[in-house]
């Protein structure tokens, strides 16, 4: 119990229910031949992934004790001891790969922003998050929980909310329920706008989400006169990916 407490900052909630581990593993499309598991811990999910000879399977785990445990129980498993947020994803497989995991909840958003940044390297993600994060990622425009990650990820991925998981199947149980989602890369290669400016526009738009876009975008210091009034009167949470692209293309430098 002591170690569990001391490691709280690692976001460790170990799955106890094998059926759920198996169900997560089965949620992969099976189309990808390279797979990375983030945070395998004691390997409850790993067990259902490791035996497939058709898949080049690797794990990244930050906790030394877990890595030692994995080496002992799965001698052939390729485990990188380190931080997923810091590892070089381009040189991991030198090719595209899917991601799976019962993720460390304290870094959920950072994992998802990394996926967004590496969207052309990561065709698929199957993962467990706290339910609230999963719902936010999968939310559609018009919903109060639709936010930055919903827009950015849905620009490049089809997002499916797969199933909800009760807190009692974990040790220690988290305070909230969890949910498994699947992201599958769509065929959009370019958003047909300045993508850096798009990301900035989405972030600034949601920064003050109660305000209309006209007011929310003011801090950007741009000329908004080419943007349709109907869009400027809406709030960020009411706008689709296409609306944000249009706004990005109509933002003008102020002279
Ligand atoms: N998949 C296991 C463990 C889930 S808990 C299970 O379902 O039981 C989350 C795991 O992520 C822990 O093992 C924790 O040590 C690991 N972890 C936390 N931060 C990490 C990081 N930045 N990079 C890689 N692994 C991390």
The 10s digit of each residue's pLDDT in 58-111 is 999 999 999 999 999 999 999 999 999 999 999 999 999 999 999 999 999 999
Which atom of ligand 1 lies nearest, measured to the CA of 37? 1
**156 three-class SS:** helix
User: Does the Cβ of 44 fall within 6 Å of ligand 1?
Assistant: yes
Confidence of residue 9 (pLDDT cuts 50, 70, 90): confident
Q: What is the spatial distance between Cα 138 and Cα 110, in angstroms, rounded to a whole number?
A: 16
Pocket test residue of 41, 68, 88 for ligand 1, highest count of atoms within 8 A of CB = 41
Distance from the alpha carbon of residue 146 to the mean position of ligand 1, in angstroms: 27
pLDDT of residue 46 exceeding 70, the answer is yes
Q: What is the spatial distance between Cα 108 and Cα 114, in angstroms, rounded to a whole number?
A: 10
For residue 187, report the phi and psi dihedrals to the nearest 5 degrees: -100, 20
Q: Do 111 and 84 meet the contact criterion of CB atoms below 8 Å apart?
A: yes
Confidence of residue 7 (pLDDT cuts 50, 70, 90): low
The 10s digit of each residue's pLDDT in 191-239 is 999 999 999 999 999 999 999 999 999 999 999 999 999 999 999 999 9
Share of the chain above pLDDT 90, in %: 94
The 10s digit of each residue's pLDDT in 113-131 is 999 999 999 999 999 999 9
Which residue has a Cα nearest atom 11 of ligand 1?
39
CA 107 to centroid of chain Cα atoms:
10
| Sole residue written with tokens 């692209």 | 245
The 10s digit of each residue's pLDDT in 166-195 is 999 999 999 999 999 999 999 999 999 999
Which atom of ligand 1 lies nearest, measured to the CA of 83? 23
pLDDT of residue 163 exceeding 50, the answer is yes
Q: Do 35 and 56 meet the contact criterion of CB atoms below 8 Å apart?
A: yes
User: Does the Cβ of 239 fall within 6 Å of ligand 1?
Assistant: no
pLDDT score at 35: 98
pLDDT score at 116: 98
Q: What is the spatial distance between Cα 153 and Cα 151, in angstroms, rounded to a whole number?
A: 6
pLDDT score at 11: 87
For residue 162, report the phi and psi dihedrals to the nearest 5 degrees: -90, -55
Which atom of ligand 1 lies nearest, measured to the CA of 21? 7
* Pairing, β 124-130 against β 98-102: parallel
| DSSP assignments along 92-122, one per residue | HHSS--EEEEE--GGGHHHHHHHHHHTTTT-
């Amino acid at each position: 119990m002591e170690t569990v407490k001391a490691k709280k900052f690692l976001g460790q909630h170990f799955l106890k229910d094998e059926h759920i581990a198996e169900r997560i593993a089965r949620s992969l499309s099976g189309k990808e031949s390279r797979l990375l598991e983030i945070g395998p811990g004691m390997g409850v999910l790993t067990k259902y992934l490791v035996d497939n000879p058709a898949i080049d399977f690797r794990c990244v785990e930050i906790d030394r004790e877990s890595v030692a445990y994995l080496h002992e129980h799965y001698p052939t498993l390729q485990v990188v001891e380190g931080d997923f947020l810091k590892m070089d994803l381009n040189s991991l497989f030198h090719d595209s790969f899917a991601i799976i995991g019962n993720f460390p909840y304290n870094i959920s958003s950072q994992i998802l922003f990394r996926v967004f940044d590496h969207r052309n390297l990561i065709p698929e993600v199957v993962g467990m998050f706290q339910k609230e994060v999963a719902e936010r990622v999968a939310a559609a425009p018009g919903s109060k929980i639709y936010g930055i990650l919903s827009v950015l990820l849905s620009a490049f991925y089809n997002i499916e909310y797969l199933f909800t998981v009760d807190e009692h199947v974990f040790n220690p149980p988290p305070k909230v329920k969890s949910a498994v989602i699947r992201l599958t890369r769509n065929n959009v290669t370019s958003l047909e706008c300045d993508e850096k400016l798009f990301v900035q526009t989405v972030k600034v738009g949601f920064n003050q989400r109660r305000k209309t876009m006209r007011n929310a975008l003011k801090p950007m210091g741009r000329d908004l006169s080419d943007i349709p009034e109907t869009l400027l009167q809406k709030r960020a949470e009411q706008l689709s990916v296409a609306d944000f692209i249009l706004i990005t293309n109509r933002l003008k430098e102020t002279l």
